Amino acid sequence: MSERAALALLAASAAVSLILYSLMFVTTANLLAWYTRPLYDLLRILIEDPLAQWRLLLGFSIQAGVYLVGWRAASRIQSPEMRRKAWVIILGGAILTGAVLLYLYPFDAADIFDNIMHGRIHGIYNDNPFHELAARYRQDPFYDYVAWRYAPSAYGPAWELLAGLAARAAGNGIVENILAFKLLPGIFLAGTVAAVAALLIQAAPERALSGTWLVAMNPIVLYETLGNGHNDIAMAFWMVLAAWFLYKGRYSRAVAALVAGALIKYIPALLVPAAAWIALRSLHTTSERVRFLIVTGLVCAGLVILVYYPFWEGIDTLGIARRAQMFTTSLPSILYHFLRLVVGGETAQEWISRAAVALTALFALWQAWKAGKEPSWVSFTRSGVTILIFYLLVTCLWFQPWYPVWLVGLAALLPAGLEQGLGLWVGFASLTKPLVFGPLVFLQDPPDPLEWLELRLSAGVMTLSWLGAWWVMWLKLVRYRKLPPD
């Protein structure tokens, strides 16, 4: 394929993607037409319009094919003149697509309304969203939209500071707040695209275009971030930024970036050991290592104290206990729902939660050790993707289809290969929850007992991702056996 043909194919891919979002997604649930319907979710849509499920399934299936075609086309464009045009297509396509998805009613994201309410608790009422519940603010215009009225904020203080600013800027309008809480993570999406592009342009220019396409035009990222307003990209941005700082040799900044991400949502903390160990292995003298540990420790401690200070009301502010009580659509959830029948709910919860934490920590430390064997930003990125996939597929207690957004920025930095492919595969496979198995399970009448419902939902949703992981491990084993002996 010539570069001119590849450029035309890239432009066609961006155009088809934009048309699909306009005709098959936004028309299904237009924000301007539906914003007066509190808690109008996908299940209610499917009851009223069963064909909506097939439109969305078809739309995402075509989007996946278009996404792959665009990536292959972008990887074939190397000449400076064609690359300049390709950058315009990719960035322009992402901007136009994002603008269209802003007007999708967030039917697959009750979280956005909880985020708005918690932002209003802090930004409008000057109260603490880690302590005050939405149920207290029955007079608020968003009260009817809130799904979790008796739960405090589940996110970190950095997010709630930003949410407070967004709520204050948006005022009391329903549409204005929905747009504001889509644009807020949208800013971090733009930052993630910029960080991926900047790092690859300097470190691996031959795949800068294709890597940027992977994150800028990823259907899962666009749908969940600008369509449904999930804030996961606001956390994922900091993991990509950490890779950038490692590339530049700014090791304290890399660890601080991960801590900043953990102050939005705790997951980037899993990558801190890898970044710290790569830093220690890359520094040449004992004095440099000691200085790194002291400076990094002080900077991170100061950042945590500064961001938590406006909200701190004791250890419950961390919200760790709440997260240990949430089980759905995961391997731990299957184990929990059957184990509780034998030992009781509290004991099962404690055993499964502690086992998941221990396994996650051990796996993160193992991957950190592996990354330090050949310390670089690439080894950090590869270990980061592997840690996140392990967490999502094995030890995550509460899996949701927007969680694979965590993977895309780091996966886009990697060379084409098994880890990158699996990271992107998990994202598409996760859509089976809202579009296939969720409706099959929750629209069933009468419903199954809870443990059988959870088994059907978890096994159905996770099977494609588990099969992908097993396939990758098999291919790696085959390649390892073919290696010549030392």
**Look-up: residue for tokens 């084409």?**
416
Query: What is the per-residue pLDDT for 105?
Result: 94
Instruction: Please name which of 303, 298, 300, 247 lies closest in space to residue 272, comparing C-alpha atoms.
Output: 300
Q: What integer pLDDT is reported at residue 320 of this predicted model?
A: 58
What pLDDT shows up at residue 321?
Answer: 54
Domain assignments of the chain as residue spans, ordered by start: 3-482
- Distance from chain centroid for Cα 482: 35
Query: DSSP states of 386-444 as a string?
Result: HHHHHIIIII-SB--TTTTHHHHHHHHHSPSSHHHHHHHHHHHHHTHIIIIIHHHHHT-
Tell me what pLDDT residue 447 has.
66
| Residue 297 · residue 285 · CB < 8 Å | no
Return the structure tokens found at 216: 């800028």
The amino acid that residue 370 corresponds to is K
- What angle (nearest 5°) sits at the alpha carbon of residue 121, between those of residues 115 and 127? 140
CA–CA gap between residue 368 and residue 383 (Å, rounded)? 7
Residues of the chain falling short of pLDDT 70: 317, 319-325, 444-448, 480-486
pLDDT tens profile 211-223 = 999 999 999 999 9
DSSP 109-168: -THHHHHHHHHHHHHTS---TTTS-GGG-TTSTTGGG-S-TT----S-HHHHHHHHHHHH
pLDDT of residue 166: 97
pLDDT score of 108: 83
**Which pLDDT score is estimated for 29?**
87
Q: What angle do CA 13, 17, 20 make, to 5 degrees?
A: 140
From 412, 462, 406, 399, select the one nearest 67 (Cα to Cα).
412
pLDDT in tens, 292-318: 999 999 999 999 999 999 998 877 767
Q: Report pTM.
A: 0.94
**Strand partners of residue 30:** 104
Count CA atoms within 13 Å of residue 455 on its CB side.
9
* Whether the Cβ atoms of residue 384 and residue 410 lie closer than 8 Å to each other: yes
pLDDT at 475: 87
Residues 6+ apart with CB under 8 A from 331: 393, 394, 395, 458, 462
